[in-house]
Structure 1
Amino acid sequence: MYKAFTASELKGHFNLPPDYKIKGYISYGAYDNEKHFNNIKKVLKELKLKYTSRNLGKVYGFLSHILEIKIKGNIYWFSVNYGSARLSEYLHLACLFGSKKNIHIGSFGGLYPEMDSLELLLPTWSFSQETSALSYNREAKDFKHYPDKNLFNLIKSKIPKQYKIWEGPIITNQAMLGETLEDVKKWSEDGYYGVEMETATVFAVSAHFKMPSASVLYNTDNLIKGQTVGDQTHTQQKMQREEVKKDVYKIALEIVLNNS
């Protein structure tokens, strides 16, 4: 069925040339395409990188959440996805089209009592029973999905020294409005550091294709301490969050653009 489609067949379906290749992929967990497309363009300019870009939705509508970035003749994908259904398919395509590194960035809800808002987390694994992950990691009877160790360590080495870095497991749950206080307490008691919507899928799909992946996330709503998106403390941290986002973009770009 669909999983058997070849790279050549899929390029034809999505109106891409037969020799189309990408070198790396960055996914961002969010819903606002244009905001984050503009953010990464600003960072590229700040880094003084010469690039061209286009929304791939102009080539084929389904690809509208992907910003294609060309630098020194190489193509990179940056996509914005809220949850994992479409993300799993973008990752599938990216791996078939040659991506060498897949990095996921974004935010999470904090579950670890000692962690503060805006601190960074490197997920050591992600628990997920979502089919967007399990369809690519059918042997994961414990529902754990892992990053590539070398890429994990490389990201860790690139994080600016002013950040507190946490390492630990997270849970990937796509039903944000279905989360209860009891869920948050239980996840925290079970040792999870955070909850978000995409990381397990990035790990599972990438590993299926034997492509390295890893994730770096920032704590946006510190759930275990009662903070939620849009409350007073969260709103007051808006400017700080934008600075953290910028640094996370830079980390991902530095690694994806590196030839090693």
Structure 2
Amino acid sequence: MYKDLTDQDYKEMLSLPPDYKVAGFLSYGHWNLSRKAENMKKALSKLDGDFQIKQLSEFLGRVYEIKTSKCTYWFTVVYGGVRLCEYLHFACLFGSKKNIHIGSCGGLCPQMESLDYIIPEWSFGNESTTRSYDRDNQENIHYPDQELSNEIKRELGNQNYWKGPIMTCEAMVAETKEDIDRWTQEGYYGVEMETSTIFAISNHFEVPSASLLYVSDNLVKGQVVGDEEHKKQKKDRWAKSQEMIDIGIRVLFS
């Protein structure tokens, strides 16, 4: 079965050279690939060094390959866990040493404001993209690597951030007011669609992983995507997105 296929099997399937290596993996949870790719290129322009950037093709068409003089990294933009699961599985097989996820979430903590940062302490995920990689985990709780999370914390500098648990739910448009109230009462800080997948697969392959999120739609305060308050924050979210990719790239290369 597919789980038994080797790195060489997948390299042949994906038309990659036999000696192809991935040094690190950075994903952004969003639907707009081209916009986040421009953010990524802008982040690289702020760093010293020469970078070769190439969008891969076919099945890997949402992956950007970033080559330095010594290493190859993957950057991708994903919406939910399915494609992320397979990209990350490949990256781990191909030698990734660190896996980082950045993105937005719906706010669940009453004390938090829109655009606040969250560094997840752990994430609850009961999806096939988590269960299949952590079959003995009855609690469905998935943890990041503490040292890599601390690297993100250091890159934030003096900026304020929250640290707490995250709920992963891939059915955003099926979320109810009762769901939001229950998750808030259970102590979750935010809800999003990818972090548990990153943690579960990375832990399966024994690769350090971490996540950095910001509050986009502050659900606990009644804000949803597309309402007037959310629309007013559009430029602030764009700026936050660039800042997060700047941070993610620096941690990826560190």
TM-score normalized by structure 1? 0.95
Displacement of 1:234: 1.1
- Which residue, 224, 234, 239 being the options, matches 1:238? 234
- Which residue, 198, 204, 219 being the options, matches 1:202? 198
Counterpart of 1:23?
A: 23
- 1:232-255 per-residue CA deviation (whole Å, 9 max, x = no partner) reads 111111111122112211111111
Q: Distance in 2 between matches of 1:34 and 1:90?
A: 18
- Which residue, 141, 144, 160 being the options, matches 1:144? 141
Say if 2:249 is the partner of 1:249.
no
Counterpart of 1:8?
A: 8
Amino acid of the structure 1 residue aligned with 2:107: G
- Which residue, 103, 120, 123 being the options, matches 2:120? 123
Displacement of 1:48: 4.5
Counterpart of 2:96?
A: 99
Displacement of 1:184: 0.5
Amino acid of the structure 2 residue aligned with 1:29: G
Partner SS for 1:210: coil
Count how many residue pairs are aligned between Structure 1 and Structure 2: 254
Displacement of 1:49: 4.1
- 1:123-154 per-residue CA deviation (whole Å, 9 max, x = no partner) reads 11111110101100112100101101111111
TM-score normalized by structure 2? 0.98
Counterpart of 2:62?
A: 65
Q: Distance in 2 between matches of 1:56 and 1:96?
A: 18
Partner SS for 2:26: strand
Amino acid of the structure 2 residue aligned with 1:256: L
Q: What residue ranges of structure 1 are gaps of 5+ in the alignment? A: none
Say if 2:56 is the partner of 1:87.
no
- 1:56-101 per-residue CA deviation (whole Å, 9 max, x = no partner) reads 11xxx11111011112231100011100011011110000101100
Calculate the aligned-residue CA RMSD, in Å.
1.0
Q: Distance in 1 between matches of 2:113 and 2:135?
A: 35
- Which residue, 108, 124, 128 being the options, matches 2:105? 108
Q: Distance in 2 between matches of 1:160 and 1:22?
A: 28
Stretch of structure 1 that moved more, 170-179 or 151-160: 151-160
Q: Distance in 1 between matches of 2:249 and 2:14?
A: 26
Q: Distance in 1 between matches of 2:148 and 2:227?
A: 35
Q: Distance in 2 between matches of 1:175 and 1:240?
A: 26
Q: What residue ranges of structure 2 are gaps of 5+ in the alignment? A: none
Q: Distance in 2 between matches of 1:33 and 1:167?
A: 28
Partner SS for 2:18: coil
Q: Distance in 1 between matches of 2:50 and 2:116?
A: 31
Counterpart of 1:226?
A: 222
Stretch of structure 1 that moved more, 69-78 or 83-92: 69-78
